């Protein structure tokens, strides 16, 4: 879906962030849904979104008439690319490619010279949204793309899915960062895929603080990184409780 604002649009956002979208007439099912921005700021006043049909609102998006008025709120989210040296690994599943496209578009606009390595997983090749956009970005970036498809068609050139920890570890082995460099990893997709990918990255030696992913329900995650971040959040909470208790008895 492409949204077009007025020529005076001054929305400031970073690649990887998301918006809340409301479509006229501003009532269910088209009322307040979050979607990652799949474009970069230089493309304004146009915003591109990648939307999967997941029931209720999104199942009806294909019938929306061009010219329908829309309102957005944002930007939101911290799923953005840090300014660090070293190669960047990006692992996306299905419509999880949306924020990745935004990040890569921003990197291309800034002539970012870092190596970018993308693993893009989907159940079917038809679900690999944004491939044309990735091909357009490749000449402007040091970008390699590996597609992993569950229902693999002969001669497609894609890797056989489902995505495995071995495939993630193999990519890390192939990258071989320069001495002193560390990889930065960004992961976006279904909960199960993110658990698999982040566990594999940790197993391969990528530090937890170099793995970036965004979830709205950390309590539901069962991966090592989920558990680590829950413990960190609990430690911060307990520290604040003890701090308040100390002040209360003074």
Answer yes or no: are the C-beta atoms of 197 and 91 closer than 8 Å: yes
Residue 81 lies in a domain: no
Q: Which pLDDT score is estimated for 62?
A: 77
Tell which residue, 186, 39, 210, has the closest CA to residue 109: 39
**Rounded mean pLDDT of 195-221?**
80
Q: In this predicted structure, what is the pLDDT of residue 23?
A: 83
What does DSSP assign to residue 155? T
For residue 49, the domain's CATH number is 2.40.30
Burial of 129 (0-12, 13-18, 19+ CB in 10 A): buried
Q: Are residues 93 and 213 in the same domain?
A: yes
Per-residue pLDDT at 216 exceeds 70: no
Average pLDDT value for residue range 103-112: 96
Q: Residue 58 domain-assigned? A: yes
pLDDT tens, 85-98?
889 999 999 889 99
Domain count along the chain? 2
Q: Could you tell me which residues are beta bridge partners of residue 188?
A: 92
Model confidence over 24-83: pLDDT tens digits?
A: 876 665 667 889 999 999 999 999 998 887 666 677 777 888 998 988 999 999 999 998
User: Cβ(18)–Cβ(96) under 8 Å?
Assistant: no
What are the tens digits of pLDDT across the range 13-32? 999 999 998 888 766 656 67
Q: Could you read off the pLDDT of 227-240 as tens digits, one per residue?
A: 665 565 556 656 56
The distance in angstroms from the start CA to the end CA of the chain is 58
**Pair (72, 100) in one structural domain:** no
**Domain holding 150: CATH number?**
3.40.50.80
Which residues, listed in sequence order, are joined to residue 72 by a DSSP beta bridge?
21
Is residue 94 located within the same domain as residue 191? yes
Assigned token pair, 73: 């709120």
Question: Pairing mode, if any, of strands 18-23 and 33-36?
Answer: antiparallel
Residues 113 and 45 in one domain: no
Quote the domain boundaries for residue 38: 2-76
- pLDDT value for 184: 94
pLDDT digit string, tens, across residues 120-155: 999 998 889 899 999 999 999 999 999 999 998 888
Alpha carbons 93 and 219: distance in angstroms, whole number: 21
Per-residue pLDDT tens over the stretch 190-204: 888 889 999 999 888
Higher pLDDT, 7 or 139: 139
Asked if the model's pLDDT at residue 218 lies above 90, the reply is: no
pLDDT given for residue 138 in this prediction: 95
pTM of the shown model:
0.84
In this prediction, residue 126 carries a pLDDT of: 87
């Amino acid at each position: 879906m492409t949204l077009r604002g007025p020529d005076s649009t001054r929305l400031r956002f970073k690649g990887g962030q998301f918006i809340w979208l409301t479509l006229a007439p501003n009532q269910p099912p088209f009322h307040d849904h979050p979607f990652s921005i799949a474009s970069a700021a230089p493309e304004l006043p146009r915003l591109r979104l990648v939307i999967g049909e997941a029931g209720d609102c999104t199942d009806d998006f294909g019938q929306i008439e061009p010219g329908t008025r829309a309102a957005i709120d944002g930007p939101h989210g911290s799923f953005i690319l840090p300014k660090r040296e070293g190669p960047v690994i990006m692992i996306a599943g299905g419509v999880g490619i949306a924020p990745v496209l935004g990040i890569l578009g921003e990197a291309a606009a800034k002539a970012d010279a870092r190596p970018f390595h993308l693993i893009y997983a989907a159940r079917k090749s038809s679900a690999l949204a944004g491939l044309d956009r990735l091909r357009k970005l490749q000449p402007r970036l040091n970008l390699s793309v590996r597609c992993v498809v569950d229902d693999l068609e002969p001669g497609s050139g894609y890797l056989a899915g489902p995505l495995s920890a071995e495939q993630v570890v193999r990519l890390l082995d192939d990258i071989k960062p320069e001495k002193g460099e560390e990889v930065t990893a960004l992961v976006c997709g279904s909960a199960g895929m993110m658990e698999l990918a982040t566990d594999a990255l940790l197993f391969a030696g990528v530090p937890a603080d170099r793995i970036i992913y965004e979830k709205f329900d950390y309590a539901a995650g069962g991966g090592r990184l989920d558990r680590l971040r829950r413990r960190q959040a609990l430690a911060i909470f307990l520290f604040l409780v003890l701090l308040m208790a100390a002040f209360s008895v003074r």
